[in-house]
């Protein structure tokens, strides 16, 4: 599975666990709402700084988004 899709799904799951809209998360993280929509849809890959901003806004460690994505990538690249 494409890493963009994995990180997008994880991000959406964490956002919905807080019952937040995309608008709320993008505002809290200080990123463009359209960019967040594209990340969640698997159309864009966030930079590490964007992952940090989103993680901070959601109150999670960046590992929550990065580690599962890396594990899936690793499976595909053995």
- 8-33 pLDDT, tens digit per residue, is 999 999 999 999 999 999 999 999 99
pTM, entire model: 0.92
All domains in the chain, ordered by first residue: 3-76 (1.10.260.40)
**What is the pLDDT, as a whole number, of residue 12?**
98
DSSP run (H or E) holding 43: none
**What is the pLDDT, as a whole number, of residue 71?**
94
**What is the pLDDT, as a whole number, of residue 1?**
76
């Amino acid at each position: 599975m494409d890493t963009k899709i994995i990180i997008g799904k994880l991000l959406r799951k964490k956002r919905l666990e807080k019952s937040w809209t995309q608008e709320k998360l993008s505002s809290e993280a200080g990123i463009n709402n359209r960019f967040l929509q594209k990340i969640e849809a698997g159309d864009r890959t966030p930079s590490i700084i964007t992952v940090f901003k989103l993680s901070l806004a959601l109150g999670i460690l960046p590992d929550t988004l990065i580690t599962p994505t890396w594990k899936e990538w690793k499976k595909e690249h053995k």
